[in-house]
Chain A
Amino acid sequence: MKSPMQRILLTGFTVILAVFFVTPLLWFVFAPFNPQASLSVTIPQSPSLANFEEVLSNEMAMRGLLQNSVIIGIGTMVGTSLIAALAAYGISRGTLPGRKILTYVLILFSSVVSGTASMVPIFKLIYDLGLIDTHIGVILVMIGGSIPSAIFIMQDFVESVPRSYEEAAMVAGASPLQIFRDVTFPVMRPGVLVVGIWVLVGAWGSFLTPFILLRNIKLMPASVTFFLFYDLESGMPQIRLISAYAVLYTIPVLLLYLLINWRYGFRFFGGIKQ
């Protein structure tokens, strides 16, 4: 099965794939360190941290990255994980009719509704709730958008908790909420973490929702504050600064995701298990 020929073929395949996946990102390896960066990949004549210095001294951009993106990301993560964990538990351990296809229908439905067109009614809704230009408004909309997939993935983890634990607690006289809080939730914590990080990464990268719902530049997350690095007169992006800001913005979530993925593996929703 593992003949030398196959080994060579697999190595060749790997090289092609690696080139395909990595070359679009090469620019980010060089441009941030090049004070004269252009759109082409060039090894800087005199590499420096000047671009980073300029980005770090931009107060609004750093506020977006270190404060607003963090608030929105964590808020969405905590809210979604908690609500999805409760819902997945309710679906898994209850007897609701149609519970087997409920999450599937939700996923399809959310993919269908999540287009740009739904932004008009969502804007009106948030406006009516008086939450325009607030972090909480952005967080609520993002929780709403990520809940169907989060329940979908979380169900797999709930199903992996042995029912005998809960039955034992039930015999001992624990209430359903106690069972969830003290038995099931602690056992499924890795699942909550996986879903949480996945939601965090999504919220961190989201552009359209905060762009539409926020007006005050002091509240905007990093995905939107990129526009601070556009030249005011020409309207052209100052790419040397943008590349540096992009690196600061991307590295933390990328590392976090790869770490979680490597630690717990990638898990798929109930549909993957027969």
Chain B
Amino acid sequence: MQKAILSRELSLLFLAPALVFIALFLLYPFFSIIQMSFTNQTLVGANAINPQNVGFQNYVELFNTKDWMRQGEMGHSLWLTVQFVIGSALIGQAMLGLGIATAFNNRKGLLREIVFTLAIAAWIIPDVVVAFAWFAYLDPEGTLNMMLQAIGIQPLDWLFDYPMFSIILFNTWRGTAFSMLLFSSALASIPPSYMETADVIGASPWQKFRDILLPLLRRYIATDLILITLWTFNTFTPFLLTGGGPINRTNVISIYTYSVGLRFFEFGKASAIAVVVMLINLVLASIYLFVSRNQQGKTA
């Protein structure tokens, strides 16, 4: 055990400015959302000045089993979010990121630089710009259709006819760099001797991946999946592409919350949705943590 350089009081002092910000901009909104979710607060009208305590009424409305799966209701929106998260985060970003990191592991040179630079550019370019780029890309006369026509496929109106597929493709493109960078840092920490030994005994690339890399990467995979699941769950950028439409077909939960809270200004109901989302995120993070702990116990 290393001797501490700072006493407990001093280390709190160093942390103090950060704690003030965390209290103001994380804890306060957190408790404020919970409190507001039990009221009928709105932006204008009588309920704006004197919001009434309505108990669990907002929650009862959200979980009204009769029509909560209807288009534009919360159940439907959660189902779309599940498709979006599985498609773009778990399958798209994590798999593609792991694929790129593995393919270029222990390699230097132009090919790696090209792929990494382009993926990072896609990740770094501001939201507003990316939204315009993809709007043009998916346009009936856009680049994607031009490329497809070149190989003999009829042009499609992507954002109108395949809106969910479009935002999944978009979010994969947008976020793969994070998983790619995380996995390539992790792979770089694996001693090359492991792979050399495997080469000596004649293991195939797939065997090496499954029996050496995958077990060593398990912890990083868990970290990656937690973060990208939460980020994808809460991302608002698809709004800039589809606005949640057409006819609510991409009305993922962040867009649903926005439309209830900041378009219709039903703050109470929007806060209740936010609380539901936070609980779901908490459960997801706990499951990932639990699974990665258990697996670690087995391998250790």
Contact = CB atoms under 8 A, between A and B. Distances in A.
Interface of A: 1, 10-11, 13-14, 17-18, 20-28, 31, 38-41, 83-84, 86-87, 89-91, 93-96, 106-122, 124-125, 140-141, 143-145, 147-148, 151, 163, 166-167, 170, 176, 179-180, 201, 204-205, 207-208, 223, 226, 237, 239, 242-243, 246, 249-250, 253-254, 257-258, 261, 266-268, 271-274
A115 B274 contact: yes
B46 interface: no
Contacts of B261: 116-117, 119-120
A208 B234 CA distance: 13
B173 A20 contact: yes
Contact of A272 (B19, B124, B185): B185
B14 A90 contact: yes
Interface string B7-50: 11011111101110110111011101100100000000000000
Given A112-B230, A141-B25, A205-B127, A94 B8 contact: yes
Interface in B180-228: 181-182, 185-186, 189, 199, 220, 223, 226-227
B143 A147 contact: no
Given A23-B137, A24-B173, A121 B11 contact: no
A94 B18 contact: no
B139 A254 contact: no
Given A90-B14, A120-B32, A208-B236, 18 more contacts: A21-B118, A24-B143, A83-B17, A94-B8, A94-B10, A94-B11, A95-B4, A95-B6, A95-B8, A111-B281, A112-B230, A112-B285, A117-B261, A120-B271, A140-B21, A180-B14, A254-B121, A271-B223
B173 A90 contact: no
Contact of B227 (A86, A89, A111, A167): A111
Q: How large, as a class, is the contact surface on chain B? A: 35 or more
Contacts of B144: 23
Contact of A246 (B25, B33, B129, B234): B129
B282 interface: yes
Most B-side CB within 10 Å, residue of A14, A25, A89, A114: A25
Interface stretch (B51-59, B63-71, B72-80, B109-117): B109-117
B189 A273 contact: yes
A40 B135 CA distance: 10
7 contacts: A25-B121, A108-B281, A117-B274, A118-B29, A125-B29, A205-B127, A261-B120
B126 interface: yes
Nearest to A83: B17
A268 B179 CA distance: 11
Interface in B126-165: 126-129, 132-137, 139, 141-144, 146-147
B85 interface: no
A117 B257 contact: yes
Please indicate which of the listed interface residues B10, B21, B135, B146 has the most CB atoms of chain A within 10 Å of its own CB. Answer: B21
A143 B136 CA distance: 33
B11 A91 contact: yes
A116 B124 contact: no
Given A117-B33, A223-B128, A21 B122 contact: yes
Given A121-B28, A122-B29, A166 B5 contact: yes
A271 B135 CA distance: 37
B124 A253 contact: yes
Contact of A113 (B29, B119, B129, B181): B29
Contact of A83 (B18, B118, B230, B236): B18
A147 B18 contact: yes
Contacts of A207: 126-128
B91 interface: no
Nearest to B267: A120
B270 interface: yes
A246 B4 contact: no
Interface in B225-240: 226-227, 230-231, 234, 236
Interface string B231-262: 10010100000000000000000100110011
A87 B136 contact: no
A119 to B, nearest CB: 7
